Amino acid sequence: MTTRLVLLADTHLPQRAKALPEAVWSAVEDVDLVVHAGDWVDLATLDELEERSQRLLAVYGNNDHGELRERLPEVAREEIDGVRIGVVHETGDAKRREMRCDERYPDLDVLIFGHSHIPWDTTTPNGLRLLNPGSPTDRRRQPHCTYMTAVAEAGQFRDVELHRLPPRR
Enumerate the domain spans of the chain. 2-165
The separation between CA 59 and the C-alpha centre of its own chain, rounded to angstroms, equals 9
pTM for this entry: 0.96
- pLDDT band at residue 1, thresholds of 50, 70 and 90? confident
Percent of the chain surpassing pLDDT 70: 99
Whole-Å CA distances, 99 to 51, 65, 83, 103, 123: 37, 29, 21, 6, 10
Over residues 128-158, the pLDDT tens digits come to 999 999 999 999 889 999 999 999 999 999 9
Max Cα-Cα span within the chain: 43
- In CATH terms, the fold of domain 2-165 is Purple Acid Phosphatase; chain A, domain 2 (3.60.21)
- pLDDT band at residue 36, thresholds of 50, 70 and 90? very high
